[in-house]
Structure 1
Amino acid sequence: MSAALACHRRNPKRRRDAPDHALPQSSKQPLMAHAGAGAGAAEPSSSASSSASGADGASAAAAASSPPASPREAHFFVRATDSKTIAMHAGWDDTVGAVLDHLGACGYGRDLRLLYAGRQLPPEATLAELRLPQDSTLHLAARLRSTQHPHAWQLAAHIAATAAGAESGAASVPAAAFSLDELVKEFILRAHRANLGLSRHDRGAPGGEDRATGDHAAEYLDIFLQAGAALALVRLYLSKSAFRSYAERAIKCFIATDPSSLPMDVLVLTAPVLLEFCRLLSLAAGKKEVLYRSCRRSLASVLSSRPRLPPSMNSPTRLIEQILPFARETVDVVLEGLASMSMMVSPIDLDEFSNFFKVMCQQARHWISGEGSMPRNLYSRESEHGNTWMWRFHNMSMDMLKRLDECLKRLEMDLSLSSDSIGVTESQTIWAARSHILVVLTELDFISAIYEDVGHNLQLVLMAHRAPLNALVRCSKRNERLHWLVKHKNLLCFEARRNLVFMMLPEGKDDFGELHEMLIDRSHLLDESFNYIAQAKHSELRGGLFMEFKNEEATGPGVLREWFCLVCQALFSPKQVLFSPCPEDKRRFYLNETSAVDPLHLKYFTFAGRIIGLALMHKVQVGIVLDRTLFLHLAGRSITLEDISVADPVKYASCKRILEMNAAEIDDLYLTFSRGAHELGTREIIDLCPGGQDISVNIRNRDQYIDLLIKNTFVDSISAQLTHFTQGFTDILVNPDHRKEFFECLDLEDLDRLLGGSNDTINLQDWKSHTQYNGYKEKDRLITWFWKAVERMPIEQQRQLLFFWTSVKYLPSDGFGGLSSKLYIYKTSDSPDRLPSSQTCFYRLCLPPYTSLKMMENQLQKITQEHVSCSFGTW
């Protein structure tokens, strides 16, 4: 052998050169190799000089330090198996085997082969015999016989050769170039079939389920890269060849726009291929290249949806370092959009940004491998030790937070300027269009779990801009990822909190085909309602309800509102022994521990929980509210002495006295750690702790006694009832795992307003201002009589009139303005001896032309009787 070879390797982190390696010298020009760092560098074209772009510029730096090429010297590049690019100089009479031997000595392994244009080069051939063009690119790969998938290697090599031939214009290739996309689809299909074969082979074997999640497909895609197929396709696409469009179609086979061309088990493993496309296209074609951006979006989507990463990406540090440059590009796009006059960001760019940040947050959390966020000094110190991704990711997050602070300041100014000049509906539309700002805030909240100062600064930004934050949340469309705002509920107004919890409830369907249909007999209201609701599947109820009363023509939302009110009135009646009203607030209920007298009581508690959830879902105020003890249980929080004051004022007062007594007074009570209870007509003694009847209460243990007494009374003794009621409510939520977040987002007073509505006196002026007329005018004598008659009614009679008119007995907390529409009074041609009628779905009261105030009062008096107000007029 008459050549010498040296290999210079540059580490992109450490910037230190490895020592030279030499072969035996000869009189010929020495063979030299310079290894460039740069997983993902674009390959130089055949016309590239020694300083051409390759391996992040490392190849160019190495080539600049090498001896100048002579006419008897070959200059070429080798793409290694570790994704590094090696710039080499060799004599024309050096063989391929000599090159392989030296690469093996440099640490690339022994059983190797070199490929050019998809074809293996014979080891015995000299470079002169091969007539390789200057600056050509060879690919280093393991020998074909060492792989388990020889057919994959053959097909991948054929794809690479076809693309390379089409680029060079070889006469024998153009016909095959037309089928490049079909060849790639065939390769993907083979990977899918290999997976299916693996799944069948390993079914039932230990660990077989884990192995059948894409092992073979991952190996196939790795072969696609090692064979140089990805590089050859990109080179053809970037060339001036007439066949470049076929390369584009072939590359797009890996982009998930056509599900039929990309089976799911292969799709989730395409990240390494997409990453290679992104690297090559980014360096060679630029950031604005359409195909590059499509590959980058697909890369973000695939990574964010992956159950597990391919072997080449299973290191958090390696993965983040690889995708961080692309994530930075998406951050810049979002920052640019937020800085514009409109502050708009396209949904596509927003999704890509969110996907990249989701992956980086997951991997960073995996790298931390612990709970809590990192203090600033920790990731600052780590960056000095080489983990620069931590600091760069942190800086990206702080840049984003700074820009959001500027956006919220601008929104605050807009809010103060536009509040008087823009209508409510128009204002809601404008703020809903800015909901992408909440999406970016959501990503920053995830990052705050990693970086301590990001979380601190995020809290400061939100506190400084409460008004625009509330406007954004209040007008935001459904987005389940906004649940993190529960942590900041003290910054949110009631309307914003209400919108957040409604996002956790189903929307229901508008078409009747998706509704759960019920036909109820009024005389068996509770029993038949129980059968329809308790026996239904969760999915049937989440789609919405359609109900009708037997022998009545009316249907629609008004009938449904009435049904909710009537069912709750019957279900929470003390006669059912399921719930007990609070002594001082008869609208407020807690669970009755003696409910076991009804053998079906547990099923009825499940039914009750579902009814409450459905009433909230359909936004019906049923006039029923829950006691604090029940609310706290639903929220997963403990119950204290102060929480029982409404449910059991007697027990509350007794416990307060015990806490105020001195030691002698407590001893005189002769209390033990037990309590009496009634069950099925008998009285029994219940221990509050093991051996409780033998433990006396004294001044030292009285706090523990009261805690155990409350827990036993309001939790332990009704644990089965609480479990079934909670399960019934959870059945209605979109995601049952979010039950605690639902109640953590609300105060008890909030739930009262959502479920019970207003119990205050009805504001007659508010009623008038939200009523419009058809056939009558506001100043008409008959309308004046009508409002005078309403004004003379007691509050309960007014509620019955409102119920007859709208099926709403308890108004929303914001009064008539909280209803879904205005109220209407229609003039009818009916005889004055006819009673008024209503169309409750449209809030219409149909009023005949009565001839006197007395006649008006008499007719309204009749329809406000309870048994009449629960029936319907014409429809």
Structure 2
Amino acid sequence: MSDAAGLDCEHRRPSKRRRDDPDHALPLCSIEAVMMAHPADAAAGYSSSSSLLGAAAASGGDGAGAASSSCAWPRTIHFFVRATDSRTISMHAAWDDTVGAVLGHLSDRGYGRDLRLVYAGRQLAPETALAELRLPPDSTLYLLSRLRSTPFSSAWQLASFIASTAAGAEFDPIHTAAACSIDELVKEFIFCAHRANLRPRHDRDSPLYGMATGDHAAQYLEIFREAGAPFALVRLYVGNPPSIFRYQAVSAIKCFLTTDPSALPPDVLAVTAPLLLEFCRLLSFTVNKSDTLYRLCRFTLASVLCLPSGLPPSLKSPSKLIDQVLPFAAEIVEVVLDELASPEMILSAANLEELSNFFKVMHQQALRWIPNGGSLPKSMYNSECGHSDTWVWRLHKLSMDLLNRVDECLKRLQMDLSLSSESRGVNVSQSRWGARSNMLVMLTQLDFISKIYEDVAHKLRLVLLAHREPLSALVRCSKRNEHLHWLVKHKDLLCFEARRNLVLMMLPEGKDDYGELHEMLIDRSHLLDESFEYVIQAKPSELRSGIFMEFKNEEATGPGVLREWFCMVCQALFSPQQVLFLPCPSDRQRFYLNGTSVVDPLHLKYLRFSGRIIGLALMHRVQVGITLDRTVFLHLAGRSITLEDISVADPITYASCKRILEMDAAVVDGLELTFSRDVHELGSRSTIELCSGGKDVHVNISNREHYIDLLIKNTFIDSISVQLTHFARGFSDILVDPELQKAFFESLDLEDFDRMLGGSNNTINLEDWKVHTQYNGYKEKDRHIVWFWKAVESMSMEQQRQLLFFWTSVKYLPSDGFGGLASKLYIYKASESAAHLPSSHTCFYRLCLPPYPSLKATKNQLQKIAQEHVSCSFGTW
């Protein structure tokens, strides 16, 4: 209704009426009131009220004609509307206003959306003009709700009561002071919605029979919306001048703006999205975009939409949902673009989460909308094709704007790196770059969208390619983030340290609290057997918490002892005596699975144990000096194995296959090979067919490549598939998510995995050792320190390793040498006499060195502890 033809009303509020139970039948617009003795009792209220109209009276119609025959009729009509709760509403309107306009006016003020007016015992048609009713002065019309066929009548009554209470608080705050607290009413409504879900549904006579769990709460919230309660609450919140009940409106709306299960029952929380959308729409039209309540409402909407069950049936249409959500997503994108344009380029955590949630849900819904998945044709979002009014075009533009801004930010980070490199060498600060990890969140969201838009994917790759150094620095310094797995397809752009940090995020962090660690007490004489029992019987969750172990009858505990245990267990586990693994002929520290391990009845359990040990060693960042063959690595990564991949594990088969590929046709035919292979196992010989009927299929020049592929697959996959499965299962037990096993190995090259697990097998760099050693009680130029380093220099490489192991429980250094250790090394001046051997605190990388009187004495004492049987477990915690 236009301003020129509006309606005005005022209310009379009688005293309080008892309302015991929200499920008790309440009339529409129920409010604490007593009945007025006569409509004339409200005349004083009418006479003092000012009309919002000022519109000319309608001429014409029977009523108007009758008025003109006697005297000048007033320009407006005054009448009363009596609600079923006995509240009387004084109204005045233009004669040409319709009954529907009156109902709309009442609905706008919170009296519900499905109303009817009754006069003289008949229902008035909405299209009827007031002039046609020929109403006598001060007539009374009756406001009723339409009868509904619904099992939730109490929900309608309570929702209508909330709407009318909020409307009353806006227009007549003095009389509403005695009314129930609006926010408490909303909490009561939420509780009723939750309680409705708990009602039995097995009664075939019940109208609720057969309804799924959670449907009731969704219908309750839809009733809340249809009854006009959100409109009334928002109107009360934005009222001008502000109502004294504004704080109740805020509290009432905030009842739905939480994802805390203790504040909002999970079954209700999961279906709040349509209601949150309604609040967002209403607030977006009436308040500033920086309004705190509006921002909280928008943030909660994004969070709820990302819940597994956050999309009720009314929002199941992907296109419709994106259309409704996109305006709010565009608002947060603008905020993020402004933050990224700042000198610090740092986003607030709340804005980052909100943007991520909106993009996540739009990405998911867009993929559902696209037939057969894949990307959208460019014609749907190309600006030249004139589709700028569609969500497809608008989402594409938002994504490109965001990508362009991220590109600018990466350029600035590249300049920072260049300046650091020129001034003092490349120095990537963990704290500084870690604070900029928001850039990775932006890139992650853009990767999601790139699955929809092909040109976004292309430009994203170009941006990453142009800024490899800042990208690596961001990933290298990033804290744990489970959403970065998409970077595996760009691993060629990352440095080793970045790739290593990427996969370490897939491993547990462990606990610092010893009370939550998996405790083990191991007898050295039964090292492997007891370690096997402790590890294989533990639940994966217990192992992911971390390990606290000690050796029987030894005082030493802590990380140093744990590092020693890992090295000793791996040395025993991968020894030929265990028949689980075989060393590669040309690299005795590289192993592949032994097909004859079936001789051990426990071999499958031991292989799972082996997988767990490898995963735990990586989790605790211990280099154990062994590596896996490329064939095993590729299997764990879910990739196929080619001829070149077997060269280290089986050089004989590799050479034979290479010769077959180089032979002429006649020579190949003369070999009389078939698609089968002979296997010698446990003293017996058997023939395995590489394909169905393989013994009868001869190898020739046209099928020799296929023969080689099948031979490799059978030898390195099929024949040991059960062993591989158990080993892989053991490794995945340690990952934070077992489903990440493939992503873990895909993120690495074999050389990366070697550096992480095996460490460096190169000669120890003595100068690097000195640079990373500090002194306590000694000085670098003291003769005792000079003698110490001369004694170390005279040792063999293996003796140096034993000394280092005695000192730190580190036998194999990280690939980047001593600088890759968790701490500097320390030499402390011991108080013992020269007759004592050195001692160590391996947890703290601390060597306690007595002041020996000569270089010869120093050499003698160091030679003693460099013996393998002495260097193991000679230190203390």
TM-score (norm 1): 0.85
Post-superposition offset of 1:199: 6.1
Q: 2:111 aligns with which of 98, 106, 118?
A: 118
Tell me the residue number matched to 2:740.
Answer: 738
Worse-superposed segment, 241-250 or 163-172? 163-172
Distance, in Å, in 1 between the alignment partners of 2:322 and 2:384 is: 15
CA contact (8 A) 2:203 2:209 kept: no
Given the alignment of the two structures, is residue 462 of structure 1 paired with residue 456 of structure 2, yes or no? no
C-alpha distance in 1 between matches for 2:606 and 2:789: 42
Specify the alignment match of 1:188 in structure 2: 190
Task: Give the CA deviation at 1:660.
Answer: 1.2
- For 1:42, the equivalent position in structure 2 comes to none
Q: Deviations over 1:237-277 (max 9, x none)?
A: 11221111111111111110654331011011111111111
Q: What residue is the counterpart of 1:802 in the other structure?
A: 804
Q: CA deviation at 1:681?
A: 2.5
| Inter-partner Cα distance in structure 2 for 1:678 and 1:533 | 34
1:37 match: none
Is residue 2:450 matched to residue 1:429?
no
Aligned to 1:154: 157
1:343 corresponds in structure 2 to: 345
Match of 1:71 in 2: 75
Matched, 1:168 2:171: yes
Same amino acid, percent of matched pairs: 70
SS at match of 1:845: strand
> 1:596, 1:680 within 8 Å by CA — same for their partners in 2?
no
State the match for 1:604 in structure 2: 606
Q: C-alpha distance in 1, partners of 2:95/2:463? A: 67
CA shift, 1:141, in A, is 11
Which range moved further: 688-697 or 330-339? 688-697
Q: Note if contact 2:675-2:691 (Cα within 8 Å) is conserved in structure 1.
A: yes
- The DSSP-based 3-state class of the residue aligned with 2:721 is helix
Moved more, 567-576 or 320-329: 320-329
SS at match of 2:231: helix
Q: How far apart, in 2, do the equivalents of 1:274 and 1:183 lie?
A: 18
User: Do the aligned partners of 1:97 and 1:124 also contact (CA within 8 Å) in 2?
Assistant: no
Pairing of 1:358-757 with structure 2 (within 5 A)? 358-380=360-382, 384=386, 388-419=390-421, 427-757=429-759
Gaps of 5+ in 1: 6-45, 52-69, 76-88, 104-112, 133-137
Given the superposition, is the C-alpha separation of residues 620 and 199 from structure 1 closer, same or farther in structure 2, using an over 3 Å criterion? Answer: farther
Encode CA deviations 1:661-682: one digit per residue, 9 max, x unaligned: 1223223322222212122321
Cα deviation for residue 372 of structure 1 reads 1.7
Contact 1:548 1:555 in 2 (8 A): yes
1:34 aligns with none
C-alpha distance in 2 between matches for 1:248 and 1:351: 23
Secondary structure at the counterpart of residue 416 of structure 2: helix
Q: Which SS does the other structure have where 2:589 is aligned?
A: strand
Report if the CA contact (8 A) 1:74-1:92 is conserved.
Answer: no
CA apart distance, 1:419: 4.0
The offset of 1:688, in angstroms, is 1.5
Q: Tell me if the contact between 2:624 and 2:812 (Cα under 8 Å) persists in the aligned partners.
A: yes
Q: Find the counterpart in structure 2 of residue 81 from structure 1.
A: none
Q: How does 1:838-853 map to 2 (within 5 A)?
A: 838-853=840-855
Closer, same or farther in 2 for the Cα pair 1:643/1:47, shift >3 Å? farther
What is the letter of the counterpart of residue 616 of structure 1?
A: L
SS at match of 2:381: helix
Q: Are the structure 2 counterparts of residues 423 and 223 from structure 1 closer, same or farther at C-alpha, using a change threshold of 3 Å?
A: farther
String of CA shifts for 1:324-346, please: whole Å, max 9, x gaps.
11111100010000001111110
**1:129-140 to 2 correspondences below 5 Å:** none
Q: Which residue of 1 aligns with 2:233?
A: 233
- Change in Cα spacing, 1:201 to 1:849, as seen in structure 2 (3 Å) is farther
In 2, are the aligned partners of 1:185 and 1:261 still within 8 Å (CA)?
A: no
Q: CA distance change for structure 1 residues 446 and 414 in 2, over 3 Å: closer, same or farther? A: same
Report the Cα distance in structure 2 between the residues aligned to 1:765 and 1:153, rounded to whole angstroms: 82
How far apart in 1 are the matches of 2:689 and 2:208?
Answer: 50
Tell me the equivalent position of 2:779: 777
Is 2:314 the counterpart of 1:312? yes
Whether the aligned pair in 2 keeps the contact of 1:672 and 1:692 (CA below 8 Å) is yes
Letter in 1 for 2:597: S
* Residue 356 (structure 1) aligned with residue 351 (structure 2): no
Confirm or deny that 1:791 pairs with 2:793: yes
Deviation at 1:200, TM superposition (A): 6.6
Aligned residues: 779
- Which moved further from structure 2: 365-374 or 547-556? 365-374
- Return closer, same or farther for 1:418/1:386 CA change in 2, 3 Å cut-off: closer
Query: Partners of 1:267 and 1:634 in 2: how far apart?
Result: 40
Q: 1:200 and 1:361 mapped to 2: Cα distance?
A: 39
Listed one character per residue, the Cα deviations across residues 833-868 of structure 1 (whole Å, up to 9, x for unaligned) are 111111100001111111111111111111111111
User: Aligned partners of 1:848, 1:681: CA distance in 2, in Å?
Assistant: 58
Show CA shifts across 1:466-490 (max 9, x none): 1111111110000010111111001
Q: Which residue in 2 is equivalent to 1:19? A: none
The residue identity in structure 1 corresponding to 2:164 is A
Asked if 2 retains the 8 angstrom alpha-carbon contact of 1:141 and 1:226, the reply is: no
Conserved in 2, the CA contact under 8 Å of 1:594 and 1:678? no
Conserved in 2, the CA contact under 8 Å of 1:449 and 1:455?
Answer: yes
Q: Distance in 2 between matches of 1:116 and 1:435?
A: 48
Question: Aligned to 2:595, what secondary structure does the other structure show?
Answer: coil
Q: Name the structure 2 match of 1:836.
A: 838
Q: Is the 8 A contact 2:380 2:392 kept in 1?
A: no
Deviation at 1:558, TM superposition (A): 0.3
**TM-score, with normalisation over the residues of structure 2?**
0.84
Cα distance between partner residues in 2 of 1:628 and 1:74: 91
Change in Cα spacing, 1:711 to 1:801, as seen in structure 2 (3 Å) is: same
* Paired amino acid for 1:217: A
Residue 577 of structure 2: SS of its match in structure 1?
A: helix
The alignment partner of 1:391 has SS state of: helix
Counterpart Cα distance in 1 of 2:385 and 2:743: 36
Deviation at residue 311 of structure 1 after TM alignment: 2.8
Write the distance in 2 (CA, Å) between the matches of 1:92 and 1:244: 35
Indicate the SS of the match to 1:555: coil
Distance 1:724 1:548 in 2: 28
Which residue type is aligned with residue 179 of structure 2? A
- Residues 348/200 of structure 1: CA separation in 2 closer, same or farther (3 Å cut): farther
Offset from partner CA, 1:558-599 (integer Å, 9 cap, x none): 000000000000000011100000001000000011111111
Once the two structures are superposed, the pairs formed by residues 210-289 of structure 1 within 5 Å of their partners are 211-239=211-239, 240-256=242-258, 259-289=261-291
Q: CA RMSD in A?
A: 3.0
Query: What SS does structure 2 have at the residue aligned with 1:123?
Result: strand
Deviations 1:512-566 (CA, angstroms, capped at 9, x unpaired) = 1211110000000000000011111110011111110000000000000000000
Give me the whole-angstrom Cα distance separating, in 1, the residues matched to 2:94 and 2:149: 30
Letter in 2 for 1:222: E
Describe the shift of the 1:602–1:207 C-alpha distance in structure 2 as closer, same or farther (beyond 3 A): farther
Tell me the secondary structure at the aligned position of residue 118 of structure 2.
Answer: coil
CA contact (8 A) 1:169 1:241 kept: no
**1:148, CA displacement in angstroms?**
2.2
Larger mean Cα displacement after TM superposition, 789-798 or 686-695: 686-695
Residues of 2 paired with 1:199 and 1:811: CA distance? Answer: 65
Partner Cα distance (1:432, 1:802) in 2: 33
Partners of 1:114 and 1:495 lie apart in 2 by: 64
**For the Cα contact (< 8 Å) 2:561–2:873, is it kept in 1?**
no
Is the 1:165–1:174 contact (alpha carbons within 8 Å) kept by the matching residues of 2?
A: no
Q: Contact 1:96–1:123 at 8 Å: present in 2 too?
A: no
1:640·1:710 contact (CA, 8 Å) conserved in 2? yes
**Stretches of structure 2 lacking an aligned partner (at least 5 in a row):** 6-49, 56-73, 80-91, 136-140
Asked whether the 8 Å contact 1:114–1:121 carries over to 2, the reply is: no
- Cα deviation per residue 1:67-88 (whole Å; 9 max; x = unaligned)? xxx933899xxxxxxxxxxxxx
State the 1:756 CA deviation: 0.3
Post-superposition Cα deviations, 1:389-410, rounded to whole Å, max 9, x if no partner, equal: 1101100000001101110111
